[in-house]
Amino acid sequence: MTDITYSDRRSSTAPEQCITLESIRISVSETGTLKRAIAFDDIAEVRLGVEMAGRDSQVVCRIAGKNGTRITFGSRHWISVGQWENRADRFRDFNAALHRALLPHANTIRFIEGQPLWVGFVMSGLGLVVALLGGGFAFYFLRDENLIGFGGVPGLIIGLYLAWMFRPRAQKPYDPALYADLPQ
């Protein structure tokens, strides 16, 4: 297998990283220096999830090794404040190559779709807090027939929407062959 690379910058504070698929491992280097590597035999989990990148969303792949080493890369590349470059096409190709390389090891790796359960609890909880604040504001002023209370209604609606969208859900396993068969 020829080495396949993908570059990613997760945020303003993170340096650009180069993720490389080699014949027996996946590695991450920053400015030419190897930072982390996980052998395919040592991968415990591959998780695909959707996360925010500025005002848009991106697909993020999180790889966890049996020894705790983690490699993360996403489909959007941070450029500057509020600006993200969409690299979905390159991400898709790299992700498909990763899944093809992992197919021989698929029986020892957990392939999971979605966010960790704790993310759902945190985000849903924050949504409920926003809803309670907005609803409390609206109730406090509207009970005295003060129309400024309607200003709390958007907070109530947005908070309930966030709580619903991020409600905790069970992890969903997926078949890695589905991603390995993506067209080049």
Q: What CATH number did the domain enclosing 47 receive?
A: 2.30.29.30
Distance CA 129, CA 135 (A): 10
Q: Same domain, yes or no, for 45 and 70?
A: yes
* Per-residue confidence (pLDDT) for residue 72, from 0 to 100: 92
Q: Same domain, yes or no, for 50 and 135?
A: no
Q: Same domain, yes or no, for 26 and 68?
A: yes
Q: Which residues does 60 contact at the CB level (< 8 Å), separation at least 6? A: 48, 49, 50, 51, 72, 73, 74, 75
Strand partners, 63: 46, 71
Q: Same domain, yes or no, for 109 and 149?
A: no
> Is-contact 19 28, C-beta < 8 A?
yes
* Per-residue confidence (pLDDT) for residue 131, from 0 to 100: 96
* Per-residue confidence (pLDDT) for residue 95, from 0 to 100: 93
The count of C-alpha atoms lying within 13 angstroms of the C-alpha of 14, restricted to the half-sphere facing its C-beta, is: 16
Q: Same domain, yes or no, for 70 and 136?
A: no
Tokens 């470059």, residue? 85
Q: Same domain, yes or no, for 84 and 127?
A: no
- What are the structure tokens assigned to 163, written together? 């709580």
Could you report the per-residue pLDDT of 81-92, keeping only the tens digit for each? 878 888 889 999
Residues of the chain with pLDDT below 70 are 1-2, 54, 182-184
Tokens 């509020």, residue? 82
What pTM, to 2 d.p., does this model score? Answer: 0.77
Q: Same domain, yes or no, for 40 and 64?
A: yes
The sign one gets for the Cα dihedral 103, 104, 106, 107 is: positive
Q: What is the number of domains present in the chain? A: 2
Q: Same domain, yes or no, for 144 and 79?
A: no
Range of the structural domain that residue 154 is part of: 117-165
* Per-residue confidence (pLDDT) for residue 114, from 0 to 100: 86
* Per-residue confidence (pLDDT) for residue 82, from 0 to 100: 75
Q: What is the largest CA-CA distance in the chain?
A: 72
* Per-residue confidence (pLDDT) for residue 1, from 0 to 100: 58
* Per-residue confidence (pLDDT) for residue 166, from 0 to 100: 83
Q: Same domain, yes or no, for 51 and 14?
A: yes
Q: Same domain, yes or no, for 109 and 123?
A: no
Q: Same domain, yes or no, for 123 and 104?
A: no
Instruction: Give the torsion through C-alpha atoms of 93, 1, 68, 70, to 10 deg.
Output: -30
Q: Same domain, yes or no, for 85 and 139?
A: no
* Per-residue confidence (pLDDT) for residue 170, from 0 to 100: 82
Distance CA 162, CA 12 (A): 25
